[in-house]
A and B are shown apart, each in its own frame.
Chain A
């Protein structure tokens, strides 16, 4: 039963992620219509054979824009996770390995960052950095740091008393080498799970910021931004919201399923 469920999570999660990844790759070479070409006479058309998700208020093909939007989602997600992973692992690693005052100081700062409700911190940071793909990713990356740092720190604290670390110390291996060559690979499963969750949260947060008009800006297509635009026509063209809303939900769902599956596979004790 457990094994069955694990595989379902893995299959569904990986399937969804691959589907969107494929969409993203394809969208670099081909979209059914040009994403920015307007066709005002055919605006707000219901889904049909020619436009399977309909057209928006400028007569642009929504399906093509959903395809293109997957690029933004992946770029922001990957950049965010890269920033969060780099600083999170560095801070968590140093805090966990060094311990003492350094640990206390680093972790109190991480606690303070986590005390902000996520979206509030995100809004404050984009207020300062300004909108756009890069700035949004930096803001979301900063928000991803504390949770990754915590996971890394607790891994380092557990591992640093192990015999292999003591042995490495005795033969004079340099601390940074012990940290990143010896300990890090041993806690990579926990970190990978944390990263995949951070990826899902980043995509959801990007959609939220763009929906509020403060994240990704036109002409860069963003699913969140599409929902903002769709809301003005909610009553007359309700189907307009289905494609972008469904895309966000499905992709985030896939990532959560995948992170669950990874956790179960890499750490059987969690079940």
Chain B
């Protein structure tokens, strides 16, 4: 019980600090934010109006609590550029980003897990140098360039794929897939290159343990040893790895959306920065970060359910 209370306490602290940082960063803007947003041609009444609208004439702490209160009620203020609530804009873009991110996540798990098991079982046949080169390359290649390469080599050669724009699921499932699979692959490939080796390590570590030697010596077929015994025990390190990728997949989506001109949250964030639409930037940053923090928290909680020993640490 104490374990859970401490975890929840830390979660609250993290979220509170994240919100304070997100709020505070926009206070150090040089000059008057309203003037920056409106540009040099704005007159005094326009400036005063926007000030009042944004509530900038009130004390800082009050502004903060208003803003953070809005976070829970889903009201993060209005976008300056679109004159629409930030939350409505986010809701509009969310399906695209969620689709790409979850598709990428599924691809990573479906490929990295079997691949990791495969190379673990051929431990001495596939050289370590080759495996680590694949990983290093996956870490080094910029996702936006990989996206362009996939467009050139897959997008242009396979009729199924569209390399630009987005077709909503509601319109056509096939259409949606044709626009989303390549971006998802772009995010997934580097993740696979890095994560399959963790799976391999997790399994190899188990292979050295006594219980594996015992079941092997009683003559259990190698396949059964791996899939029935080792995999079960390697699940926790593997879960940890896949918990870690959520943040990276979300971050990857933000950039890759730009390569494929997908109208997702990432694109909204980039344009809102270019237009100096700060309430929108603040809102997007806050929601994305909180989502990632919460997912990590849930994954953490899952471990302790799977392996109660963790609670004692």
Enumerate chain A interface residues (CB-CB to B < 8 A): 5, 8, 108-109, 111-113, 115-121, 123-128, 200, 204, 207-208, 211-214, 224, 227, 230-231, 234-235, 238, 241, 244-245, 248-250, 252-253, 256-257, 260
Contacts and interface: CB of A to CB of B under 8 A. Distances in A.
Contacts of A253: 136-137, 139-140
Interface stretch (B77-85, B141-149, B199-207): B141-149
A238 B156 CA distance: 11
Contacts of A244: 145
A230 B152 CA distance: 13
Nearest to B141: A249
B18 A245 contact: no
B17 interface: yes
A241 B136 contact: no
A108 B17 contact: yes
Contacts of B255: 119, 208, 211-212
Contact of A127 (B13, B142, B273, B292): B273
Given A108-B17, A234-B148, A124 B142 contact: no
Contact of B152 (A117, A200, A207, A238): A238
Contact of A235 (B21, B29, B141, B156): B156
B248 A211 contact: no
A72 B198 CA distance: 34
14 contacts: A109-B17, A112-B18, A116-B292, A117-B250, A123-B270, A126-B273, A127-B276, A127-B278, A208-B144, A214-B270, A227-B142, A249-B141, A252-B139, A253-B136
A116 B152 CA distance: 32
Contact of B269 (A123, A125, A238, A256): A123
Interface string B3-20: 000000000011001100
B238 interface: no
Given A127-B278, A214-B270, A119 B251 contact: yes
A227 B144 contact: yes
Contacts of A116: 18, 21, 285, 289, 292
Nearest to A208: B255
9 shortest A-B CB distances, which residue pairs? A112-B17, A245-B145, A117-B251, A253-B140, A252-B140, A127-B273, A119-B251, A124-B285, A249-B141
Interface size grouping (class) on chain B: 35 or more
Contacts of A241: 145, 148-149
B129 interface: yes
Interface of B: 13-14, 17-18, 21-22, 25-26, 28-29, 128-129, 132, 136-137, 139-145, 148-149, 151-152, 156, 247-248, 250-251, 254-255, 258-259, 269-270, 273-274, 276, 278, 281-282, 285, 288-289, 292-293, 296
A238 B296 CA distance: 39
Given A116-B289, A213-B274, A234 B142 contact: no
Given A127-B273, A208-B255, A211-B142, A117 B248 contact: yes
A117 B288 contact: yes
Contact of A117 (B142, B149, B247, B282): B247
Given A113-B21, A234-B152, A252-B140, A120 B254 contact: yes
Contact of B258 (A207, A212, A249): A212
A211 B144 CA distance: 8
A112 B143 CA distance: 25
Nearest to B17: A112
A66 B43 CA distance: 45
Contacts of A200: 139-140
Nearest to B20: A112
Contact of B145 (A118, A214, A249): A249
Given A5-B128, A108-B13, A116-B289, A124 B141 contact: no
B274 A214 contact: yes
A244 B281 CA distance: 29
Contacts of A119: 251, 254-255
B152 A227 contact: no
